C-alpha cells in the first residue's frame, strides 16, 4: 500500500518534483508559479510586490515576506488558487548580465518602469526583447508602468505603454504602489493568463 | 521573516533526522532498501565520473527511493513529514558516501575555485561598500560578520542540504538587515536592488572555501524537489554573486578605472610578498562555531597559488588562443609549475615549523586532485555501514 494512493492530494505535491523550476503546477487547481520581476532600480519593483503581499487578506494563506523573495497565494473565482513565488532582481545596470540566472524557468515576468522616467521605459523594452529571445517559451509577460500617482511628472504616456505592450502581445497596466491602485488587478490578470495544466478530469499528469 | 516550511526543512535538527534514518536502516525490515542504496553507491565506481551524468543518476535514484520508501511497510501510515525526513537522511547518507567522487572532483572545478578565491583575495585589499553603492544604512559590520560566518561554515558539511542551509542562513541575516533598515531607519525597502550588492560584498569579505564547487554540488545533488522557491532563490543569488565576482572589472564597480587597475596590481604584489607568511589570517579560519576544520585545502589553494594571476592567459578562453601562443603558453606553464612546486615545498616546511597542528591534513595534496575531507562532524556517518 502506498501513501501516494491514499493521500492523492499530498502526494501530488511531489509532482512539482523533478524540475520544480519550470514554474510548474502542483496540480490543476493549485498552481505554483515562478514570477520574476525586472526593471531598473528605483522603479518600485519591490514596492509593488510588498503592496500585493501585505495587502492580501486571507488568514489561511501562507505569506513569506523577505526583502527580495516573497510568495503569496491568491484565490480565483473558479475556486483555483495561484501561489506566486516572486523573484526580485537587482535593477542596477551592473547586474544586468546576471538576469538570465533569475528568469530561467520563470512562468511569468513582470517588467516594471517608472512613468516619470523615459530611461526606465527604454530599459523595460530591453528586458522585453531579452525575454522574448531567451525566456521560457510560453512565458506570460506583463508590462507595468508604476508611480501612476505622479501625474504632474509623467513623461511616458499611457498610450506609449499600451502600444508597446500590444505590439509585443503583453499584458499592460499602470499601477501605483503608493496608493495601491491596480496592484491586485495586476496579479489577478496574470493569474488568469497563466496556461492551465490538463483539466482535473484527466486524473494524472503524464 | 521566518523561512517558509516549503523551502527549509529545518524543523527538526538534522542530526536527529539522520539518526532516525540510520535507525530505520538498521531494522531488518529495511534490508531491501539498504541493498538498493549500497548497490547504487557501488555502481558509481563502474562509471567514469561525469558531473552532469552523476547528478542525473543521483536524482533519479532519489526519486525511485522516495517511491520505495512511501510504499515500504516500515513507513506504512507515515506522514509526509516522516517520509521527507527519511529522504533527507538518505540524501545525506548517499552524498557523504559519494562525496569524494562528486565534490570538486574535476580539475576544472578546482581551477575555478582557485580563480574565484584568488580574485576575491585581491578584491579584499581595497574593495569598499561604496564601490557597490551600498547605502549607508545597510553598512552594518556586525550583521555582515554574522552573514560571513554562515557562508564560511559551508565546508563543515558534506550533505547538499546542510551546505544549502549555510547559504540560506547567510541570506536570512542579510534579509533581516534590510528589513530592519526599512523599519527603523526609514530606508525604503528596495528588495534585490539592496540585497544582491550586500550579498556580493559579504561573499567577498567571507571568501567562502571552494565556492564554485560548493554551488555546483548543491545544484547537482540537492534533491530537485527541494531546490525550489526560497531555497532556489537564495542559491541563485549566491551563484549570481559568484558570477559577478568572476567577471568583475573596473566597469562593474563605482570606481575609477585607473584606481581599480592600480589597486589590483598592488594587491598582487602584496600577495607575492606575503606569500611567505603562511600563517592563516583570522578571516580564513573557517573553523569557528565549534565545527571541525572545514577545509584546509581551501586555505592551501589560496596560499599556494597567489601571484599566478598576472599571467597573460588567465582571462583567455580556449577560442582566443592561436597556434602562435603555444610556445609562450608552454614556457609560462613551465614557469608556473616550477614556482608552484617550489612554493609547495617552502610552504610545507614553513607550515611544519609554524602551524604544526594544521599541517597534518595538507601534506601532498595537489590543488588539481579531488579533495576528500574527513571532518569530525561526519564521523557519525560511517555508522551507517
A166 half-sphere exposure, CB direction, 13 A CA radius: 6
* DSSP helix/strand/coil, A83: strand
User: Which range in A16-25, B42-51, B163-172, B336-345 is most confidently predicted, on average pLDDT?
Assistant: B163-172
**Whether the predicted model's global pTM rises above the 0.80 cut:** no
What are the tens digits of pLDDT across the range B216-269? 999 999 999 999 999 999 999 999 999 999 999 999 999 999 999 999 999 999
Chain A residues whose beta carbon lies within 8 Å of the beta carbon of residue B198 = none
What residue ranges of chain A have pLDDT lower than 50? 1-25, 57, 59, 202-206
For chain B, domains (ranges, CATH) are 12-102+365-378 (1.10.246.120), 107-258 (1.20.1050.80)
Angstrom distance (rounded) from CA A20 to CA A157: 39
Which segment, B134-143, B178-187, B273-282, is predicted with the most confidence on average?
B134-143
Phi, psi of B292 (to 5 degrees): -70, 160
Q: Return the beta strands (E) in B102-231 as ranges.
A: none
Q: Which helix (H) or strand (E) holds B63?
A: helix B51-70
On whether the CB atoms of residues B3 and B170 are closer than 8 A, the answer is no
In B206-235, the residues whose Cβ lies within 8 Å of chain A are: 224-225, 227-230, 232-234
Q: With an 8 Å Cβ cutoff, are B193 and A90 in contact?
A: yes
Chain B residues whose CB is inside 8 A of the A18 CB are: 59, 63, 224-225
For residues A128 and A114, give the distance between their C-alpha atoms in angstroms, rounded to a whole number.
15
Q: Which chain A residues in 73-102 lie under 8 Å from chain B, judged by CB atoms?
A: 85, 87-92, 94-95, 97-98, 101-102
| A71-89 tens-digit pLDDT | 999 998 888 899 999 999 9
Cβ partners under 8 Å of residue B231, min gap 6: B7, B8, B164, B168, B222
Q: Please give the residue of chain A at the shortest CA–CA distance from B7.
A: A64
* Residue-wise DSSP of A29-63: SEEEEEEEEE--TTS-HHHHHHHHHHH---TTS--
Q: What are phi and psi of A83, to 5 degrees?
A: -100, 115
pLDDT attached to residue B87 = 96
CB spacing of B195 vs A42 below 8 angstroms: no
B267: left (phi over 0), alpha (psi -120 to 50) or beta: alpha
Confirm or reject contact between B385 and chain A (CB < 8 A). Answer: no
Q: B-chain residues within 8 Å CB-CB of A10?
A: 80
Query: How far are the Cα atoms of A71, B33, B35, B71, B346 from residue B26, in angstroms, in the given order?
Result: 40, 10, 12, 18, 49
Compute the average pLDDT of residues B279-307.
Answer: 43
Q: Please list the residues that pair with A74 across neighbouring strands.
A: A82
The answer to whether A5 faces chain B, any CB pair under 8 Å, is no
Asked if A65 has any chain B CB less than 8 Å from its own CB, the reply is yes
**Range in B14-28, B152-166, B228-242, B325-339 the model is least confident about:** B325-339
- Contact at CB, A18 and B225, closer than 8 angstroms: yes
- Which ipTM was obtained for this model? 0.83
Instruction: Provide the grid cell at A61.
Output: 494563506
Amino acid at each position: 500500500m502506498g501513501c501516494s494512493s491514499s493521500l492523492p492530494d499530498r502526494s501530488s505535491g511531489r509532482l512539482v518534483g523533478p524540475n520544480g523550476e519550470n514554474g510548474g503546477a502542483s496540480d490543476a487547481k493549485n498552481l505554483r508559479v515562478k514570477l520574476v520581476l525586472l526593471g531598473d532600480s528605483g522603479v518600485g519593483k519591490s514596492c509593488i510586490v510588498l503592496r500585493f503581499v501585505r495587502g492580501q487578506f486571507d488568514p489561511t494563506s501562507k505569506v513569506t515576506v523577505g526583502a527580495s523573495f516573497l510568495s503569496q497565494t491568491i484565490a480565483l473565482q473558479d475556486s483555483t488558487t495561484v501561489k506566486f513565488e516572486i523573484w526580485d532582481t537587482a535593477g542596477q545596470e551592473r547586474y544586468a548580465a546576471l538576469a538570465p540566472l533569475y528568469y530561467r524557468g520563470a512562468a511569468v515576468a513582470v517588467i516594471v518602469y517608472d512613468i516619470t522616467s523615459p530611461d526606465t521605459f527604454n530599459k523595460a523594452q530591453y528586458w522585453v526583447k531579452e525575454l522574448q529571445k531567451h525566456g521560457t517559451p510560453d512565458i506570460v509577460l506583463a508590462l507595468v508602468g508604476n508611480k501612476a500617482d505622479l501625474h504632474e511628472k509623467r513623461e511616458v504616456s499611457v498610450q506609449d505603454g499600451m502600444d508597446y505592450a500590444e505590439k509585443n502581445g503583453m499584458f499592460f497596466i499602470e499601477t501605483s504602489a503608493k496608493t495601491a491602485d491596480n496592484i491586485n488587478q495586476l496579479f489577478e490578470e496574470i493569474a488568469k493568463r497563466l496556461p492551465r495544466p490538463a483539466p482535473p478530469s484527466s486524473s494524472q499528469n503524464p | 521573516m521566518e523561512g517558509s516550511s516549503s523551502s527549509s526543512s529545518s524543523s527538526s535538527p538534522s542530526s536527529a533526522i539522520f539518526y532516525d534514518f540510520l535507525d530505520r536502516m538498521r531494522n531488518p525490515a529495511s534490508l531491501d532498501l539498504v541493498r538498493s542504496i549500497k548497490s547504487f553507491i557501488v555502481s558509481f565506481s563502474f562509471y567514469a565520473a561525469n558531473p552532469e551524468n552523476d547528478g542525473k543518476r543521483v536524482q533519479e535514484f532519489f526519486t525511485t527511493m522516495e517511491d520505495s520508501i512511501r510504499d515500504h511497510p516500515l513507513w506504512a501510515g507515515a506522514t509526509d513529514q516522516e517520509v521527507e525526513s527519511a529522504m533527507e537522511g538518505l540524501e545525506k547518507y548517499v552524498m557523504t558516501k559519494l562525496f569524494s567522487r562528486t565534490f570538486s572532483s574535476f580539475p576544472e572545478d578546482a581551477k575555478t575555485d582557485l580563480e574565484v578565491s584568488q580574485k576575491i583575495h585581491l578584491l579584499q585589499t581595497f574593495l569598499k561598500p561604496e564601490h557597490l553603492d551600498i547605502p549607508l544604512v545597510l553598512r552594518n559590520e556586525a550583521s555582515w560578520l554574522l552573514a560571513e560566518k554562515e557562508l564560511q561554515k559551508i565546508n563543515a558539511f558534506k550533505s547538499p542540504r546542510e551546505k544549502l542551509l549555510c547559504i540560506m542562513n547567510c541570506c536570512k541575516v542579510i534579509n533581516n538587515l534590510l528589513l530592519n533598515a526599512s523599519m527603523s531607519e526609514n530606508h525604503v525597502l528596495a528588495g534585490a536592488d539592496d540585497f544582491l550588492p550586500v550579498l556580493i560584498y559579504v561573499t567577498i569579505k567571507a571568501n567562502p572555501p571552494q565556492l564554485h564547487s560548493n554551488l555546483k554540488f548543491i545544484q547537482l545533488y540537492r534533491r530537485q524537489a527541494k531546490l525550489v522557491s526560497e531555497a532556489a532563490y537564495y542559491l541563485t543569488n549566491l551563484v549570481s554573486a559568484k558570477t559577478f565576482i568572476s567577471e568583475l572589472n573596473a566597469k562593474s564597480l563605482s570606481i575609477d578605472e585607473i584606481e581599480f587597475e592600480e589597486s589590483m596590481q598592488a594587491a598582487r604584489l602584496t600577495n607575492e610578498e606575503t606569500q611567505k607568511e603562511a600563517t592563516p589570517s583570522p578571516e580564513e579560519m573557517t573553523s569557528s562555531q565549534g565545527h571541525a576544520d572545514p577545509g584546509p585545502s581551501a586555505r592551501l589553494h589560496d596560499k599556494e597559488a597567489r601571484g599566478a594571476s598576472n599571467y597573460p592567459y588567465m582571462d583567455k578562453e580556449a577560442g582566443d588562443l592561436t597556434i602562435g601562443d603555444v610556445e609562450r603558453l608552454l614556457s609560462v606553464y613551465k614557469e608556473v609549475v616550477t614556482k608552484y612546486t617550489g612554493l609547495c615545498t617552502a610552504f610545507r616546511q614553513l607550515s611544519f615549523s609554524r602551524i604544526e597542528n594544521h599541517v597534518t591534513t595538507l601534506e601532498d595534496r595537489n590543488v588539481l586532485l579531488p579533495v576528500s575531507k574527513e571532518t569530525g562532524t561526519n564521523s557519525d556517518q560511517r555508522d551507517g555501514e
